[in-house]
Chains A and B, each alone.
Chain A
Amino acid sequence: AQKITQTQPGMFVQEKEAVTLDCTYDTSDPSYGLFWYKQPSSGEMIFLIYQGSYDQQNATEGRYSLNFQKARKSANLVISASQLGDSAMYFCAMREGPANNLFFGTGTRLTVIP
């Protein structure tokens, strides 16, 4: 089974609107971390936001927030007030327990429309 599932290959959003990118995960480990990365067309991987499995509150970083629903095993990324520069690929990733490696989803390509 896939550890990280991103079901939206592509999403469109109007500039200044909010958008939610979906991510579901699969783990039996009670201790895990969830991450979102942005990959613009230039190719680099940019860290956006982190949520720990024991964190009580949803993580927020500026215009980014993570909608963490533990029982549903979902960790959706919410981008508020979209900007043209938000157009990129977005990857959800998970680290399980003490393991070092991240498991990545296949990504969602977000296009912001002026």
Chain B
Amino acid sequence: NAGVTQTPKFQVLKTGQSMTLQCAQDMNHNSMYWYRQDPGMGLRLIYYSASEGTTDKGEVPNGYNVSRLNKREFSLRLESAAPSQTSVYFCASSEMGLAGIQFFGPGTRLTVL
């Protein structure tokens, strides 16, 4: 089992360019999440999908869109990248519920020039 996979691992964009970060999980989890991690800070939730067919905003959703393509895949799109979106992006998945432990992908390091 690969767990949670993310592509790409690294990306450099120019301001105004668009891109999609891909995430897939093979643990048959219902819920999936996108976080960003900035230097000196913990992770902050961008968007999540509690189950296939649903998506909801997290703490920092501005400038992002998401698509829950199927149960396995959850993508994050930056329509017009800005330098403030330079960050490390993590995808995670979990079962629902209070004890639903979130398992994380390896992260994507994005730089916007």
Contact = CB atoms under 8 A, between A and B. Distances in A.
Nearest to A89: B42
Q: How large is the interface on B (under 10, 10 to 19, 20 to 34, 35 or more residues)?
A: 20 to 34
27 contacts: A31-B98, A32-B98, A33-B98, A33-B99, A35-B101, A37-B104, A43-B88, A45-B43, A45-B104, A46-B104, A47-B101, A50-B101, A52-B98, A95-B98, A100-B31, A100-B48, A100-B50, A101-B33, A101-B48, A102-B45, A102-B102, A104-B42, A104-B44, A105-B42, A106-B40, A106-B41, A107-B42
Interface in A79-103: 91, 93, 95, 97-98, 100-103
Contacts of B41: 106
Interface of B: 31, 33, 40-45, 48, 50, 56, 58-59, 88, 90, 92, 94, 96, 98-107, 109
Given A104-B43, A106-B41, A106-B42, 4 more contacts: A37-B104, A45-B107, A95-B100, A102-B45
A43 B103 contact: no
Contacts of B107: 43-45
Contacts of A95: 98, 100
A43 B101 contact: no
Interface residues of A, number: 26
A103 B107 CA distance: 18
Given A100-B33, A100-B48, A101-B48, A50 B99 contact: yes
Instruction: Give me the 5 closest cross-chain CB pairs, A-B, nearest first.
Output: A104-B42, A45-B104, A101-B45, A104-B43, A33-B98
A91 B98 contact: no
